[in-house]
Amino acid sequence: MKIGTLDLGERPIMLAPMEDVTDVPFRLLCKQYGADMMYTEFVNCDAVVREIAATMRKITILAEERPVGIQIYGREIEPMVEAAKIVETANPEIIDINFGCPVKKIAGKGAGAGMLRDIPKLIKMTEEIVKAVNKPVTVKTRLGWDDNSKGIVELAERLQDVGISALAIHGRTRAQMYTGEADWTLIGKVKENPRMTIPIIGNGDITSAYKAKEYFNRYGVDAIMIGRASIGKPWIFQEVKDYVSKGIEPQPLKIEEHVRRVMQHFERTLDWMGDERKAVLHCRRHLAVTFKGLYNFRELKIRMLRENTAEGVRSCLNEIAERYSECYTCE
């Protein structure tokens, strides 16, 4: 599969852009465990134009994690075009436009999935960004705003017509947020459309290697993008790739190895953020979901999530390794 001239091979597995998740330490781990393409946290176009330090740090890309795309969002065409020009100087492999984020603070203000309520403006914005940059431009979006406006098949054609190089589709409407089950039926119809020549990337509820292979076969997508299922488990990419390409079934992890991987992410985050308190808080989202099925784990888990120091988190992780040394991670 190619995005522009970028060759990602057959059936690539991508890391979805996620705010406060897909930073450099996490992306490096996902790359280590087989992700073929990754995205930065999505960034606000206005913050990019104003060159806000925290935002500019989010678009930092290290050589060892490439290929990486930078995703931008906003509701006005001019600042989005200007932001695209600025992020291009960070030399991402692609520039991605966020027309899919459903959260109120973004979609409610007309950006992200909010753009699905003004399709002419969405198309014009995309066209102007494509014209303004040299990097391939891609789009990530949803089936529509709600059940009465699932226009993704026609929208995909119009986006292709103005020059995007790939389209990622999440199988829910904005109204659904992240509730219910992702419906890939319309994603499959986009892929089946004989007018479509660009890669179609499926996204939504890919939580296992088995489901990834099933959806590749059932819906014919060119690539799959994994988001929330990678939180606390960046090695899901290795499991998916091994099963999809080689038929190797995922194996449970010995707790000692699981803890080692979690510790690696934690230490990298400490180094990257340079602020112990912020790093500990940042990692709680991952720590809250990474150990599943351990017997009588609740008390230790709560204690770990209440720790405010790096040493306290390390102590809890070491205690997990010792207490459950004969156990395997349950999925």
**CATH code assigned at 88:** 3.20.20.70
Looking at the fold, whether 39 and 142 belong to one and the same domain comes out as yes
> Active-site residues: which are they?
101
Helices H / strands E in the chain, number of each: 14, 11
* Beta-sheet pairing, 6-7 with 2-3: antiparallel
| pLDDT at position 329 | 75
Half-sphere exposure of 49 (CA within 13 A, CB side): 14
Is the residue at 232 inside a domain? yes
Contact between residue 258 and residue 290 where contact means Cβ atoms under 8 Å apart: yes
Strands (E), the chain: 2-3, 6-7, 13-15, 38-39, 43-44, 68-73, 94-99, 137-142, 166-170, 200-203, 223-226
Q: In tens digits, what is the pLDDT along the chain, a chain of 331 residues?
A: 999 999 999 999 999 999 999 999 999 999 999 999 999 999 999 999 999 999 999 999 999 999 999 999 999 999 999 999 999 999 999 999 999 999 999 999 999 999 999 999 999 999 999 999 999 999 999 999 998 999 999 999 999 999 999 999 999 999 999 998 999 999 999 999 999 999 999 999 999 999 999 999 999 999 999 999 999 999 999 999 999 999 999 998 999 999 999 999 999 999 999 999 999 999 999 999 999 888 899 999 999 999 999 999 999 999 999 999 888 875 5
Looking at the fold, whether 84 and 32 belong to one and the same domain comes out as yes
Is the residue at 331 inside a domain? no
Number of domain units in the chain: 2
| pLDDT at position 330 | 55
Is the residue at 13 inside a domain? yes
Looking at the fold, whether 197 and 310 belong to one and the same domain comes out as no
Contact between residue 95 and residue 126 where contact means Cβ atoms under 8 Å apart: no
| pLDDT at position 293 | 82
Of the three residues 246, 272, 307, the one that is the final residue of a domain is: 246
Looking at the fold, whether 203 and 272 belong to one and the same domain comes out as no
Is the residue at 330 inside a domain? no
Fill in the amino acid letter for 160: Q
Looking at the fold, whether 79 and 222 belong to one and the same domain comes out as yes
| pLDDT at position 13 | 98
Looking at the fold, whether 164 and 229 belong to one and the same domain comes out as yes
Looking at the fold, whether 72 and 137 belong to one and the same domain comes out as yes
Taking phi over 0 as left and psi of -120 to 50 as alpha, with beta for the rest, 144 belongs to left
Is the residue at 309 inside a domain? yes
| pLDDT at position 327 | 82
Give CA–CA dist 200/208, Å, rounded: 20
Tokens matching residue 217: 């076969």
Domain residue limits at 82: 2-246
Is the residue at 328 inside a domain? no
Of the three residues 200, 220, 246, the one that is the final residue of a domain is: 246
Contact between residue 171 and residue 38 where contact means Cβ atoms under 8 Å apart: no
Of the three residues 190, 221, 246, the one that is the final residue of a domain is: 246
Residue with tokens 């914005």: 125
